[in-house]
Chain A
Amino acid sequence: MVFLEFEKPLENLYDQLEKIRQISEEGDIDVTDKIKELETKIKAKQKEIYSNLTGWQKVQLSRHPERPYTLHYIQQMCKKFVELHGDRKFKDDKAIVGGIGKINGQPLVFIGHQKGVNTKMRQYRNFGMANPEGYRKALRLMKMAERFGMPVICLIDTPGAFPGLEAEERGQAEAIARNLFEMAQLKVPILCYIIGEGASGGALGIGLGDRIFMLENTWYSVISPESCSSILWRSWDYKEQAADALKLTADHMLEFGLIDDIVKEPAGGAHMEPDKMVKTLKAHIKKNVAELMALGEEERIQHRLEKYSKMGQFDIAKAKNKK
């Protein structure tokens, strides 16, 4: 198991538990009580640590190397899933995956950022940073979903769209903008889940929909805390302050009315009990798809247009008053 800095008190307890388990396997000493005691201790400690996470700690949890990624969720949730590749224009982007799957008989089109599980795979997936062809593949799949009346499920987990030379040549900005424009008026339901990192336009490029959800230990912001620190503080050392200032946690986003719900994670985060997390997400998708399918096509689009028209915080000034 990998423990983050603020999880160090837990590491100790888990080590003890592991040792006692070994002892019980080797000999005839009854350690059931001791194990129970330790487990209670772990639970209490977990509760203590995870109920008071700062913005930056949540950012760290969202990047936990053992956290489940898009394909894991899709493959575990669907009885059958076929991955589909390519944007039909230029290339197949490995940082955004997609395909058709079924949950309880309902065909769904899944789209999501994909990160790698080891160094080699992380490079292969470009660390979940998509190029324009990734967004265009996503749009191709959404258009197909629209033709066949299949709801679209987007799983978002990216440190941002890739800031490369070729990405600019092929129109990174146009690809993201086009997706926003088309997703605003797609005829089928769109559900978006932030399952890890939700960084800026790269996340939003597959993140506009009827309902937007965040898993408990994820973040969503216009910029990563690191980049924000480097621009506004002119140093990379203020990421903690930046994470607080950006108010990027799921709780904040729900409070601001910018997302619709928070999906609970198992104690300690999604990676502690991935199976439980998959189950929770599956049930959540099922419920929301059913609710959205009950609405008419035009009604759904109208709701979506109104939802986004309302986003923003501003004052109305008295005439001629500058402030």
Chain B
Amino acid sequence: MGWFKRLKDGIQTTTKFKKEAPDGLWYQCKQCHETFTVKELKENFYICSKCEHHARIGSHDYFDLIFDGKFELLFEDIRSKDFLEFTDLKNYKDRLDVAWEKTDLTDAICVAHGKVGKRPLCIAAMDFSFIGGSMGSVVGERISRAVDHCIETMTPFMIISKSGGARMMESAFSLMQMAKTSTKLAQLSRAKVPYFSFMTDPTTGGVTASFAMLGDLNFAEPKALIGFAGPRVIKETIKRDLPEGFQRSEFLLDHGFLDFIVDRKELKTKIADLLFLFENKEEI
């Protein structure tokens, strides 16, 4: 028997969850806390090999996963500006500077033209890391020009949504991007060019209530949060807890708002299949 007895427990965290490592080398799953090397994660399509959680990834990661090799970026020269001189606790201008500094991105959406299964496709993919993937004038304008490009070249269009909603710091201008993008998609639809809407975690607010829900086909990644109002706001409104799985992809599929859910591993094949099915050409 020892002379001393420990009265308080020492470190409470189980060692299983405590794994520190330099940035950029290791990745810890947000869902099950399992740790992988970034290389392992990337090789597994950024999906946790233990719990199948799809990690949030950026526009360029999707381009690499989907396109057959090279692709061309479009409309990168369009930039946000602080037209309203909006100031809350920070200036909008400063927020923009920080976002440009911290990311390799020019705004919350990136447009690229490439080929998938040898068929052309134009993709506009959103980045959550740029001011929460919020939709301001630039997101609207890039989608608008992408639609013009697709009509001109008769190229199918796909948007990968990942956004917290409208960019408040652009006030009514951001609201009008809902009208603008929907109007452009109406034009695309009139030109009979297919539009695929692919929703990823999270897709909420004005983005869901405009282009995300307007696909000829709507599909999503597994377990992505998709909704109009955020879960916190709904909880405050109805004053009770939300059911398990509420506003997740599976819930939306069940309620009839998605065509299917696609695992990231099958994403490229699925898109290639769709492009093949929508192509109206006689087979030789």
Instruction: Give chain A's interface residues, CB within 8 Å of chain B.
Output: 161-165, 167-174, 176-178, 180-182, 184-185, 200-201, 204-205, 207-208, 220-223, 228, 231-234, 238, 241-242, 245-248, 252-253, 256, 258, 304-305, 308-309, 311-319, 322-323
Contact = CB atoms under 8 A, between A and B. Distances in A.
Contacts of B247: 168
A165 B209 contact: no
B178 A312 contact: no
Nearest to B205: A201
Nearest to B92: A245
A256 B178 contact: no
Q: What are the 8 A-B residue pairs with the smallest beta carbon separation, nearest first?
A: A163-B229, A312-B137, A180-B182, A232-B88, A173-B208, A313-B83, A173-B228, A222-B175
B183 A308 contact: yes
A200 B210 CA distance: 12
The interface residues of chain B, by DSSP majority, are classed as: helix
A221 B238 CA distance: 24
Contacts of B174: 222
Interface of B: 77-81, 83-84, 86-89, 97, 100, 106, 137-138, 140-141, 144, 166, 168, 170-180, 182-187, 189-190, 205-206, 208-214, 227-229, 233-234, 237-238, 242, 246-247, 255-257
A309 B213 contact: no
A105 B186 CA distance: 32
Interface centre among A241, A309, A317, A319 (most CB of B within 10 A): A309
13 contacts: A164-B237, A180-B182, A200-B206, A204-B175, A207-B179, A222-B166, A256-B172, A313-B170, A314-B79, A315-B80, A316-B79, A322-B100, A323-B100
Nearest to A186: B186
Contacts of B97: 323
A173 B203 CA distance: 11
A181 B182 contact: yes
Contacts of B187: 305
A184 B177 contact: no
A177 B210 contact: yes
A315 B79 contact: yes
Given A174-B213, A180-B179, A309-B144, A258 B228 contact: no
B89 to A, nearest CB: 6
A314 B78 contact: yes
Nearest to B135: A222
A298 to B, nearest CB: 11
B182 A208 contact: yes
Given A245-B86, A312-B137, A173 B212 contact: yes
